């Protein structure tokens, strides 16, 4: 049933980078699998989606914003979040807005379809598939903690994934220490 899928393993893996009482924005949140997961772990969550049905479904988890983010204004202008989560969604014109929405010290956790996916299923239109290295280029200015670009076999799909942190102002020039797993 739609909306009952488990949270993305990528989102779960990098969620330890989100501050314990942090705020989380889920862009194109759908029925809220990630909102529910973060809310259950004490995070304050906001979901934005153009589907009234989806927004109704996520209201129990936190703030729910109904907006057509592809054809209308960004409804959260000026707001930043300790984590911005995007999965299975790409609207290139929105990438700069998504990057600006990551607060200092916050993390972007992004996973979506990439070129090659047209050979195994949908989405297959180039408009909805990241080009090689495109997600890395979009994250310039953030510190990339992890990045993948490749093929998954269950279900078959080509994806790009990134976990990237916006360094807080005044962070020393020494190498930042972002743990690669929850245990550090």
Residue 165, CA atoms < 13 Å, CB-side half-sphere: 19
Mean pLDDT taken over the chain: 91
**Predicted confidence band of residue 176 (pLDDT cuts 50, 70, 90):** confident
All residues at 6 or more sequence positions from 162 whose CB lies less than 8 Å from its CB, including other chains:
108, 109, 110, 111, 135, 136, 139, 144, 146, 147, 148
Strand locations in the chain (E): 23-27, 44-49, 63-66, 81-87, 102-113, 143-153, 156-165
> DSSP 3-state helix, strand, coil percentages of the chain (rounded to 5)?
25, 30, 45
Sign of CA dihedral 64, 65, 70, 75: negative
Give pLDDT, residue 23: 98
Give the pLDDT confidence of 72-89 residue by residue, as tens digits.
999 999 999 999 999 999
**Is 2's pLDDT higher than 60?**
no
Of 21-35, 146-160, 168-182, the one with minimum mean pLDDT is 168-182
Each domain of the chain, given as residue ranges in start order, spans 21-165
CATH class belonging to 21-165: alpha beta
End-to-end CA distance of the chain: 35
pLDDT digits (tens, 9 = 90+) for 117-171: 788 889 888 888 889 999 999 999 999 999 999 898 778 888 999 999 998 887 7
Residues 6+ apart with CB under 8 A from 86: 26, 27, 28, 98, 108, 109, 110, 111, 112
Share of the chain above pLDDT 90, in %: 71
């Amino acid at each position: 049933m739609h909306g009952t899928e488990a949270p993305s393993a990528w989102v779960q893996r990098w969620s330890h980078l989100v501050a314990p009482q942090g705020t989380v924005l889920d862009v194109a949140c759908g029925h809220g699998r990630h909102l529910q997961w973060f809310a259950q772990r004490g995070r304050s969550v906001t979901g934005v989606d153009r589907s009234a049905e989806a927004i109704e479904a996520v209201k129990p988890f936190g703030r729910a914003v109904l907006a057509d983010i592809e054809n209308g204004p960004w409804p959260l202008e000026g707001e930043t979040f300790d984590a911005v989560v995007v999965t299975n969604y790409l609207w290139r014109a929105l990438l700069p807005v998504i990057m600006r929405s990551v607060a200092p010290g916050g993390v972007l956790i992004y996973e979506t379809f990439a070129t090659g996916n047209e050979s195994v299923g949908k989405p297959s239109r180039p408009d909805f598939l990241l080009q090689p290295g495109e997600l890395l280029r979009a994250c310039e200015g953030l510190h990339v903690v992890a990045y993948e670009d490749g093929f998954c076999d269950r279900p078959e799909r080509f994806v790009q994934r990134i976990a990237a942190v916006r360094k807080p102002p005044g962070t020393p020039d020494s190498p930042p220490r972002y743990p690669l797993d929850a245990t550090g």
